[in-house]
Amino acid sequence: MRTSIATVSVGGTLAEKLTAIAAAGFDGVEIFENDLLASPMSPAEVRVRAADLGLSIDLYQPFRDFEAMPADLLAANLRRADHKFRLMRQLGADLLLVCSNVSPAAIGSDELAAEQLRSLASLAAEYGIRIAYEALAWGRHVDDYLHAWRIVHLADHPNLGTCLDSFHILSRGFDPIGIEAIPGEKIFFVQLADAPILAMDVLQWSRHYRCFPGQGMLDVRGLVGHVLRAGYSGPLSLEVFNDVFRQADAGRTALDGMRSLIALGLPEPVVPTGLAFAELAVADPARLGELLAALGFVRTDAQRWEQGAARIVLRTASGEPELAAIGLESPDPDAALTRARTLRATVLPGEHAIAAPDGTQIVFCPPTTVPRSGHITHIDHVALTQPWHHFDEAALFYRSVLALCPQPSLEVPDPYGLLRSRAMSAGPVRMVLNITQVQGIPTQHIALACDDLVATARALPPDLLLEIPANYHDDLDARYDLPFDHRALGIMYDRDDHGEFLHLYTITIGRVFFELVQRVGGYQGYGAVNAPVRLAVQHSRGPMTPQ
Ligand SMILES: O=C(O)c1ccc(O)c(O)c1
Ligand SMILES: [Mg+2]
């Protein structure tokens, strides 16, 4: 399948966009009109530049508010189209996207829409150009892909087909199964975008929050299946409007887009079965060793500390302690590494090691079984702080390379801003991605699963624990009648429909702190309701000093 991407999807000038898109390995581009209008390059120069970079120009877009207009506007509209066809000839593009009319002047008549689109297609044919008609999710009369297809069918012109855009179809909840009823050769173009589920006006949602397939919650993979079964053989093209991507590095965004398309073509990945270890890079392991010993860990060699299946490695390195590597138990480490390589992940020296977007090393390990040795049984989750403009990239990486399922994003108030948090999980493997724009050194934490938190907390020296304000404990007393002394033990608490969650935090050393968690029943979350209190205390303790 050929790959393409709309220039609107990445940041930079048109020239910078084309360079980044070519470097990421795309076959072609959709030229977005705004990018051309703002460019000092003439259409002919753009054509040459794209050709030099090995990119075909697959589509020019958008052409707006054309169909089903009062008869007296048709001539002016065709004149406007004629200008664009001349432009496209210089550009070397032979496909024009016409999106459904949003003008209040548009008339709700399929016959009129078909008739005017037929005139447009006839004019286009004189230039060797074809028209792809797309239903915008907020079109005035046409907002459904099957409605757009009915009009195309009615118009019955060889130079007129339809353009399917996954966002417009899936955002409105339309069933994509209907795609299979459209003859493949009448699907002239396919645009792909994902999006997080947000309750907002669909136009705002589309223009600001689209993301690459796999980064959001829409079933883009399923839609592509329908498109292929319909017999479509043209390019799969990414069309993403995203405020963050516009500001991010074009090369990195384009590569991420390419990764999302590669992932769509791969079989479902091998799912990891456990968190094998967490490795911290530390200059002076003494303080962390002291903390681990207090938590009941036993040192098994110069660098390794273990308790049950929870393994912490302290690797000597300069700088503040930070999380350097995470071990993932995989039923097939070789296959996991091959998949990562296919998805253009950075493969590191050493066995089965790759780099996550934030530089954290991920190591695929074979599963092991370990006897219990204390109350701490294994690593429950690892929380990583991401730079704000790499959040979606990280989500795609953890999903496509590591087979973790994204959970909905949460927003957590911090005294100095807002923290966005998204868990990625597969069974017992849980990672939490946090982004914050709050000034300070971003923290990372390792949450250790414990089978009796009350007993463990009793044995801990209080000066190693984060002190939780009395107001929090007063509120817990108001809400629940808990059978343990949460106040004296410094334990925080949450409950959902499936079970209970008890947790506490250690002090922060460098960038890293530990959380001890006990899940009772089938509690699904991470105690996010308590995170604002934890963040406020961590700020007041001062380890997150502004950089
Ligand atoms: O937001 C828009 O107007 C717009 C334009 C062209 C498209 O292909 C599209 O999907 C959306
Ligand atoms: Mg589109």
Query: Cα–Cα distance between 383 and 464 in angstroms, integer?
Result: 20
Of all ligands present, the nearest one to the C-alpha of 164 is 2
User: Using CB atoms within 10 A of its CB, is residue 318 exposed (0-12), middle (13-18) or buried (19+)?
Assistant: exposed
Answer whether residue 547 is part of any domain.
no
- pLDDT, residue 414, reads 85
The residue nearest atom 2 of ligand 1, judged by CA position, is 207
**Nearest Cα to Cα of residue 394 among 429, 440, 350, 359:** 359
pLDDT cut 90: percent of the chain above it: 87
- Residue 477, pLDDT > 80, answer yes
Give the domain range for residue 282: 274-541
pLDDT in tens, 228-278: 999 999 999 999 999 999 999 999 999 999 999 999 999 888 899 999 999
Within a 10 A sphere around the Cβ of 209, how many other Cβ atoms? Answer: 22
Is 61 annotated to bind a ligand? Reply is: no
* Same domain flag for 442 and 461: yes
pLDDT in tens, 373-401: 899 999 999 999 888 788 899 999 999 99
- pLDDT, residue 277, reads 97
* Same domain flag for 223 and 320: no
> Which of 34, 99, 189, 207 for mutating ligand 1's site (highest number of atoms within 8 Å of CB)?
99
Last residue of a domain, one of 236, 265, 294: 265
* Same domain flag for 71 and 219: yes
Answer whether residue 315 is part of any domain.
yes
* Same domain flag for 243 and 117: yes
411 Cα–ligand 1 center, Å: 29
Write the DSSP string, 453-509: HHHHHHTS-GGGBPPPPHHHHHHHHHH---SS-HHHHT-EEEE-SSEEEEEEEBPPB
Query: Cα–Cα distance between 19 and 307 in angstroms, integer?
Result: 51
- Report, as an integer, the average pLDDT of 447-476: 96
pLDDT in tens, 202-218: 999 999 999 999 999 99
- pLDDT, residue 542, reads 62
pLDDT in tens, 121-153: 999 999 999 999 999 999 999 999 999 999 999
* Same domain flag for 49 and 150: yes
* Same domain flag for 260 and 370: no
Residues with CB under 6 A from ligand 1: 61-62, 97, 99, 134, 136, 165, 191, 206-207, 239
- Report, as an integer, the average pLDDT of 526-547: 78
* Same domain flag for 414 and 300: yes
* Same domain flag for 256 and 280: no
- Residue 297, pLDDT > 50, answer yes
Last residue of a domain, one of 212, 246, 265: 265
CATH number at residue 464: 3.10.180.10
- pLDDT, residue 439, reads 67
- What is the number of the ligand 1 atom nearest to the C-alpha of 193? 10
Lowest mean pLDDT among 27-31, 35-39, 454-458, 539-543: 539-543
Last residue of a domain, one of 230, 265, 300: 265
Local structure of residue 237 (DSSP, 8 states): E
Answer whether residue 449 is part of any domain.
yes
Answer whether residue 546 is part of any domain.
no
Residue 544: pLDDT band (50, 70, 90) is very low
Is 307 annotated to bind a ligand? Reply is: no
* Same domain flag for 375 and 247: no
Lowest mean pLDDT among 40-49, 71-80, 215-224, 280-289: 280-289
- What is the number of the ligand 1 atom nearest to the C-alpha of 207? 1
Q: In degrees to the nearest 10, what's the CA dihedral of 340, 344, 348, 353?
A: -10
- pLDDT, residue 543, reads 46
* Same domain flag for 374 and 470: yes
Give this prediction's pTM.
0.90
pLDDT in tens, 402-444: 999 988 888 888 888 888 899 999 999 999 999 876 666 678 9
Is 329 annotated to bind a ligand? Reply is: no
ipTM over 0.85: yes
Strand, coil or helix: 443: coil
- pLDDT, residue 13, reads 97
Name the average pLDDT for the chain: 94
| Structure token digits, residue 203 | 């136009």
CATH number at residue 119: 3.20.20.150
* Same domain flag for 390 and 524: yes
Q: How many domains does the chain fold into?
A: 2
- Residue 546, pLDDT > 80, answer no
**Nearest Cα to Cα of residue 310 among 268, 370, 265, 233:** 370
pLDDT cut 70: percent of the chain above it: 98
Answer whether residue 302 is part of any domain.
yes
Residue type, 183: P
- pLDDT, residue 545, reads 37
